[in-house]
């Protein structure tokens, strides 16, 4: 390695540019910590004519992946190009060439994380992906290092800044979903195609990664029950505020010993819960462990420099492992293979808004139905044409049963809103 270690970069977008800027700006600090210089030797790009916001020496940029992956001087590959299939192929080639890999690619890790961990171990290489979840928040290292001695029971998180910004505007300003999304796009918090964000897919990928590490189980993306925010009505946000809640898109993961419950869904959070105060584009992950109790990680969940900071931290970790001769020993292959929890294992409170006819008997009929199924009601609000209910903790199985039977009741015209409720005292 000598007094210099060479890094190859796959991709030069927002995050890749941030990585170069941080390495250049912090070179003296890095050299002091590591005893060697960190050099960006080659960078793979798709369009050589595109304007870049970083300056590089002649010969650094290339459109040929082999120039990066087969360069014998490069020890570390940083993948920030995005996509799945091409990125997987490049990373596999890097391991075969005995190069260590750092990626910010949540899609890739959510889908193929265990397979890549196994491949890294076979070639005695490091694979780190701190930047794949919650940008600059060190949540993955927190789980695998800081809380490694604890038994994690549950994780709740706001892990998508786009949806949190939209919901903040809807809740605070009464903006419609469309208007809040348009503003988020103008400010750069949402993509031109926001589908992955607003439908909860981005958050689902991150929760699969978090659950996999927290519970050491091979959680796959298909196990994540996912619902987005596009159909949230302002009426439910307003009723929620009156009842002491605020709406957030919450990623939820709970260990049930032999199974794992993982979901992403709009959730009414008690305003006393710490996550309720996480606003705009910020992210936060709330962790509950047997020893630590409750702790929260909070910060910017995206952006060039916050995400790049996580990437460079992984670079530092790999270099330290190289210096110690300890590469390939941090592979986090899941210990268990737990399936998805059954509906009768998953418990929560629930908010329901029913559209009802003008009949004096409707509340009594609805209350009796809940009682017959064994669901106790904690809060009820009756409005002209509407009935708002908050249950005590009950199973998802019971919820599905009550929903099926409610719409069959006379004078109940439909279920206008149904959301999980979290954060109540004693829940």
Q: How far apart are CA 13 and CA 38, in angstroms?
A: 20
Q: Report whether 83 contacts 77 (CB < 8 A).
A: no
Find the catalytic residue in 206, 248, 254, 338.
Answer: 206
Q: Report whether 140 contacts 213 (CB < 8 A).
A: yes
Q: Report whether 265 contacts 225 (CB < 8 A).
A: yes
- Residue 233: exposure state from Cβ atoms within 10 A (0-12, 13-18, ≥19): middle
127 Cβ neighbours under 8 A, 6+ residues apart: 91, 95, 100, 101, 102, 103, 116, 117, 120, 331
206 is catalytic: yes
In SS3 terms, 246-306 reads as EEEEEEEEEECCCEEEEEEEEEEEECCCHHHHCCCCEEEEEEEECCCEEEEEEEECCCHHH
Torsion of the alpha carbons at 423, 155, 295 and 284, rounded to the nearest 10: -80
**What end-to-end distance do the CA atoms of the chain give, in Å?**
54
- 2 phi, psi to nearest 5 deg: 65, -145
User: Helices 201-215 & 106-122, crossing angle to 10 degrees?
Assistant: 30
Three-state secondary-structure class, residue 205? helix
Torsion of the alpha carbons at 12, 13, 17 and 19, rounded to the nearest 10: -80
Q: Any idea which residues carry the catalytic annotation?
A: 206
């Amino acid at each position: 390695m000598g007094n210099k270690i060479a890094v190859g970069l796959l991709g030069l977008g927002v995050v890749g540019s941030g990585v170069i800027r941080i390495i250049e700006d912090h070179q003296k600090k890095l050299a002091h910590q590591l005893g060697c210089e960190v050099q960006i030797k080659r960078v793979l790009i798709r369009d050589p004519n595109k304007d870049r916001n970083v300056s590089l020496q002649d010969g650094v940029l290339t459109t040929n992946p082999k120039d990066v992956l087969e360069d014998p001087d490069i020890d570390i590959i940083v993948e920030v190009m995005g996509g799945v299939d091409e990125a997987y192929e490049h990373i596999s080639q890097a391991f075969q060439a005995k190069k260590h890999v750092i990626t910010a690619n949540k899609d890739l890790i959510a889908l193929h994380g265990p397979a890549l961990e196994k491949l890294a171990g076979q070639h005695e290489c490091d694979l780190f992906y701190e930047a794949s979840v919650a940008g600059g928040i060190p949540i993955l290292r927190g789980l695998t290092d800081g809380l490694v001695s604890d038994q994690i029971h549950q994780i709740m998180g706001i892990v998508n800044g786009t949806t949190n910004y939209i919901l903040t505007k809807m809740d605070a300003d009464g903006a419609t979903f469309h208007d809040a999304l348009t503003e988020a796009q103008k400010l750069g918090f949402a993509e031109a195609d926001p589908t992955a964000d607003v439908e909860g897919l981005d958050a689902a990928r991150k929760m699969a990664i978090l659950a996999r590490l927290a519970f050491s189980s091979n959680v796959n993306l298909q196990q994540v029950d996912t619902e987005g925010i596009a159909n949230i009505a302002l009426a439910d946000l307003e009723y929620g505020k009156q009842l002491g809640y605020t709406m957030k898109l919450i990623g939820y993961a709970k260990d049930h010993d032999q199974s794992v419950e993982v979901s992403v869904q709009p959730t009414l959070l008690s305003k006393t819960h710490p996550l309720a105060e996480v606003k705009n584009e910020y992210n936060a992950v709330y962790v509950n462990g047997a020893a630590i109790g409750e702790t929260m990680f909070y910060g910017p969940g995206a952006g060039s420099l916050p995400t790049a900071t996580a990437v460079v931290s992984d670079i530092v970790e790999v270099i330290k492992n190289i210096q110690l001769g300890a590469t390939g020993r941090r592979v986090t292959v899941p210990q268990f293979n737990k399936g998805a929890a059954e509906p009768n294992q998953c418990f929560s409170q629930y908010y329901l808004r029913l559209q009802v006819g003008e009949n004096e008997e409707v509340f009594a009929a609805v209350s009796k139905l809940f009682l017959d199924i064994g669901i106790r009601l904690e809060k009820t609000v009756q409005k002209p044409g509407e009935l708002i209910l908050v249950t005590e903790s009950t199973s998802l199985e019971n919820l599905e049963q009550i929903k099926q039977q409610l719409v069959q009741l006379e004078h109940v015209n439909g279920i206008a809103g149904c959301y999980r409720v979290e954060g109540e005292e004693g829940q």
